[in-house]
Structure 1
Amino acid sequence: MKKVIITGSNGLLGQSLLKLLLKERTKYEVFGFSRGVNRSDREDFTYCDMDITKEVLLKDEIDKIQPDFIINTAAMTQVDACETQKEACYLLNVTVVKWLTEICELRNIHLVQISTDFIFDGKKGHYKETDTPNPISYYGRSKLNAEAVIKTSAVQSTILRTSLVYGKVPHMTRSNIVLWVKKMLEEKNEVTIVSDQFRAPTYVIDLALACKISIDSEVAGVFNICSNKILSIYEIAQQVAQVFELDENLIKPISTAVLNQTAFRPPKTGFDLTKTNNELQFYPKSFKEDLLKFKETFSENYI
């Protein structure tokens, strides 16, 4: 049986991973690290109320468990907050990864790290794993620094780069693009959405599955995980309206310049999935297809 620690187990990806791995309880012994009470509706795993920004506590707990894998889903991902709270961002996104890398290297633990499309400047989009990063926000720089920490170590690692993750789990503390647009339209509110930023959104179930494939195959390296078509964020909102049968006319385009966000966003990202297809044998679908699948299971999940 493989021992797996999930950091950030209360989050969207953390809870989705728990649900996926616990379907095979004879295969995995799962440990969840998060702050506060267990927010998942699952109790068939070992939950640790843990502040992972405390180095000694983190390393001691990992030493006690002696896991085979650590999947690090914990991160500060609010792009504007990272720009204004740089110390907090660096601590969680870089320093914690450094500590995890050190203990994984020492104890021969395979580390799975979640990275982001925001390590790129967004000038071209459709990025390959081998393209040269050039982040334009502090969040992007922090995640690139985390990648560098791992790559310059001897740790066995898998880095999964992803983009605009959405989904739904119990007791969520943060929304995401799909839930926000859906809620606004259900309440008959006008939605202003940028039309000149382009992304390939990622269904959290796909990202959880990619994490599972990473530990099952013990594959090392960098892989891209997102849907297979790049859309403007305006088009993403339109597709949410269409799938959930809401009023598309309430969605109004706006330019990035007018929006005036605190942190810069890359204009166009999205990933080339060739390596993911070939080496992980993983074939993500379009946003529309994933959204239809999400709608089918929507009543099974709750906030």
Structure 2
Amino acid sequence: MNKKKILITGANGLLGQKLISQLVAGKEFDVLASGRGPCRIPGDGFDYVSMDITNKAEVIEVFETQKPEIVIHGAAMTQVDDCELHREACYEANVMATENLLVGAQGCNSHFIFVSTDFIFSGDKGPLTEDEEASPVNYYGETKLLAEEKVKASGLKWAIARTVLVYGISHDMSRSNIILWVKKSLEEGKSIKVVNDQWRTPTLAEDLAAGCILIAQKEAQGVYNISGEDFLTPYDMAMMTADYFHLDKSLITKADSSTFTQPAKRPPKTGFIIDKAKKELGYQPKSFRTGIDILAKQIILARS
């Protein structure tokens, strides 16, 4: 049986690494990883192509040569404050790059799966269903919403996987996240201030990857909320992390968002209701406590 070829953008990133390892293990697809510059993903069982998604000619050439039947587009400029301060770069990375990939995909009639964000919402209420009206409060959210609209108007078979506060460990431990930050700070005896007036449904990177793969397997179309289920503040997450690692919780102080000056506004309350993904895709995310446990084991493995 001919396996379908699946192209992953942003393969060197956190989500990309998790997608590649799960796809390779599943052996259901022909896996083509892509990223800017050389491959930084360990292991084998996949092909890799260097592709600058902001370069239209380069993108079209890859699609014409490789002819992927499915695309999972996870590459993006996601640092919210950088997006606010460097709007041209953000627009190019999040909107124009998506347009380029859509043109490439149209040439192959690929099933296009776009990874989006809770930051397309105002944060007035949460958790949210797929039908909620979008109204971003920062430039990052604006660009992701624009890209979503382009995906919907592409004429392709499309799906949008929206997610929230993705956390996990990349193979080289190059990225931090709230769990690692809290653990390191408390182990060093540092006091930390953590916001308790923002609500999210934090998502384990492995779960987001699994959700995207389910969309590909089922050839699902439309918008899906792919996140964790626990509705928590960063303060809750910090306390749970301290509990798990038996660290000193008295070093953690509650703070409200106004304590921190950041270039980009954050939506106060988002988080997702994931009933649709559970019912239609069979998506089952881990609890945040289980997520901490998984990261704890990965930290030991990464250091061994």
Match of 1:107? 108
Distance 1:8 1:187 in 2: 33
Q: CA deviation at 1:132?
A: 0.2
Match of 2:61? 60
Aligned residues: 302
String of CA shifts for 1:202-250, please: whole Å, max 9, x gaps: 0001001001101111100101111112111111111111122222222
The answer as to whether partners of 2:53 and 2:97 remain within 8 angstroms in 1 is yes
Q: CA deviation at 1:40?
A: 1.5
AA aligned to 1:255 is D
Report which stretch shifted further, 43-52 or 67-76: 43-52
Match of 2:13? 11
AA aligned to 1:180 is W
- 1:1-303 alignment to 2 at 5 Å? 1-25=3-27, 27-301=28-302
Q: CA deviation at 1:114?
A: 0.6
AA aligned to 1:250 is L
SS in 2 for 1:199: coil
AA aligned to 2:265 is F
Distance 1:38 1:300 in 2: 22
Distance 2:243 2:40 in 1: 31
The answer as to whether partners of 2:53 and 2:101 remain within 8 angstroms in 1 is no
The answer as to whether partners of 1:168 and 1:302 remain within 8 angstroms in 2 is no
Q: CA deviation at 1:292?
A: 2.4
Q: CA deviation at 1:155?
A: 1.1
Distance 2:247 2:70 in 1: 42
AA aligned to 1:9 is A
AA aligned to 2:24 is L
Distance 1:282 1:28 in 2: 19
SS in 1 for 2:64: helix
Q: What is the TM-score when the length of structure 1 is the normalising length?
A: 0.95
AA aligned to 1:281 is G
Distance 1:301 1:212 in 2: 25
Q: CA deviation at 1:301?
A: 4.0
Identity, % of aligned pairs? Answer: 41
Q: What is the TM-score when the length of structure 2 is the normalising length?
A: 0.95
Structure 1 residues 106, 49: closer, same or farther in 2, change over 3 A?
A: closer
The answer as to whether partners of 1:6 and 1:14 remain within 8 angstroms in 2 is yes
Structure 1 residues 172, 291: closer, same or farther in 2, change over 3 A?
A: closer
Distance 2:166 2:296 in 1: 15
The answer as to whether partners of 1:34 and 1:49 remain within 8 angstroms in 2 is yes
The answer as to whether partners of 1:3 and 1:28 remain within 8 angstroms in 2 is yes
The answer as to whether partners of 2:169 and 2:298 remain within 8 angstroms in 1 is no
Q: CA deviation at 1:51?
A: 1.8
AA aligned to 1:14 is G
SS in 2 for 1:5: strand
The answer as to whether partners of 1:39 and 1:170 remain within 8 angstroms in 2 is no
The answer as to whether partners of 1:116 and 1:140 remain within 8 angstroms in 2 is yes
String of CA shifts for 1:12-52, please: whole Å, max 9, x gaps: 00001111011133x22211111233221123321223222
The answer as to whether partners of 1:160 and 1:224 remain within 8 angstroms in 2 is yes
Q: CA deviation at 1:175?
A: 1.9
Distance 1:183 1:35 in 2: 31
